[in-house]
Amino acid sequence: MGDGNGLEWVRASDSPEGESIEVATGDGDLVHIRSTDDPDNIVTTTVAKWKAFVLGVQNDEFDHFVDDGPESP
C-alpha cells in the first residue's frame, strides 16, 4: 500500500479490516512503523535496530507483553 510520501507500506496482518501495524523501508537504513488507526504517527528506526527487534520477537523475548499471566520483571 503506497501513500503520498513515496513509502510502500506492508501490513503485518492478513486482514484488510481492523487495526494493524504497517512497516516501510525508507532512504538509507531507515525503517518506518505505523498503526493503521493513526497513520500520521510514524516511528522511525534503523535497519539494525529493526533486525534486533525481529530477532527478539522470534526468540519469544516479548511474550510477556501478550501473555494473560502476571507480567515478568
Contact 45, 51 (CB under 8 A): no
Closest by Cα among 23, 53, 27 to 39: 23
Nearest to 32 by CA among 41, 40, 42: 42
What are the tens digits of pLDDT across the range 53-68? 999 999 999 998 887 6
pTM for the full predicted model: 0.75
71 in Cβ contact with 55 (< 8 Å) = no
Which of 70, 34, 29 lies closest to 50, judged by CA?
A: 29
| 23-61 per-position pLDDT tens digit | 999 999 999 999 999 999 999 999 999 999 999 999 999
